[in-house]
Amino acid sequence: MGFLEDFQASVEALPAMLHRNYSLMRELDKSLQGVQTENEQRCQQEIEDIKHGLESGRITYDPAKLKFSDEAIEEQKHCVRIADEKVALASQTYDLVDAHIQQLDQFMRKLEDLRQEKEAATTAAATAATSTPVAATVVPSAGTSTADITPKSGRSGERGRGGRKKTAKVPTEQPAPAIDLELPVDPNEPTYCLCNQVSYGEMVACDNSDCKIEWFHFGCVGLREQPKGKWYCPSCIGFQKKRKGK
């Protein structure tokens, strides 16, 4: 099964890829903290220099000129770039895990399809075995030879000693009894579904609280997976439509 091998190889490689992404995120965190610390110290120093300049009269108060240096602004932009890299790396990690979850869902659906196909083949084989007639076998009775059972061709009119005809003794074949291949069912076990059989395999419940049957086999109602939201059986869905139409 090629899909299984590919999925297994992809899952085995996932921990290493996640470890790499998390390591990069930790390194980005350390780098960001270092740049932020330097920027805070630079800005604090520049603020102190501006205050001293204003107090000493070296700097004229002009809001348009009172700003941080280009180095401080560049450090702030660098912090933003590092934060953007962290966000992109986190998104990549999320998409990586989400892709593996979708592959796992697809693999589970394929397994369910294979299980249903195998179950259908087993059911068909059991049905064919039940409906196939069993050939009757003639068992010679005590004191009767095979020659007595099967008359020889062209010698039925042959006379033996004493002038009497020899007649072949062919016993009457009795019909073979029918073979019951069905497993015994507990008469006290409750039955469900449209087929009126016992519970087996995957089943779905009708959301009509007054449903007389309540539980149904997936195959009997044409389902391959658990339905989403409310589900009504073929008998109750018409009743629900009538209620909505009133």
Q: Is 211 annotated as a binding residue?
A: yes
Residue numbers of the domain that contains 233: 203-244
- Domain count for the chain, please give it: 2
Tell me, what CATH number does 222's domain have? 3.30.40.10
Q: Give the tokens for residue 168.
A: 């072949």
Whether the predicted pLDDT of 167 surpasses 70: no
Q: Is 233 annotated as a binding residue?
A: yes
Q: Is 206 annotated as a binding residue?
A: yes
- Structure-model confidence comparison of residues 188 and 89, the more confident one: 89
Q: Give the tokens for residue 198.
A: 């016992």
Residue 168 lies in a domain: no
Q: Among the listed ranges 108-117, 138-147, 198-207, 213-222, which one has the minimum average pLDDT value?
A: 138-147
Confidence (pLDDT) at 154: 43
Q: Give the tokens for residue 172.
A: 């009457």
Separation CA 203–CA 225 (nearest Å): 10
Q: Is 79 annotated as a binding residue?
A: no
Residue 104 lies in a domain: yes
Q: Is-above-0.75 flag for pTM?
A: no
Q: 243: number of CA atoms within 13 Å, CB side?
A: 6
Whether the predicted pLDDT of 183 surpasses 60: no
210-236: average pLDDT: 89
Residue 195 lies in a domain: no
Query: 102, 129, 156: which is the final residue of a domain?
Result: 129
Query: How many C-beta neighbours within 10 Å does residue 25 have?
Result: 14
pLDDT band at residue 206, thresholds of 50, 70 and 90?
very high
Confidence (pLDDT) at 240: 67
The per-residue pLDDT for range 94-144, each reduced to its tens digit, is 888 888 888 788 888 888 998 999 999 998 888 888 875 554 444 454 444
Confidence (pLDDT) at 204: 93
Q: Let me know whether 7 and 106 are in one domain.
A: yes
> Residue 235 burial by CB count (10 A; 0-12/13-18/19+): exposed, middle or buried?
middle
Q: What is the DSSP string of 42-107?
A: HHHHHHHHHHHHHHHTSS---TTT----HHHHHHHHHHHHHHHHHHHHHHHHHHHHHHHHHHHHHH
162-173: average pLDDT: 40
Confidence (pLDDT) at 47: 86
Q: Is 43 annotated as a binding residue?
A: no
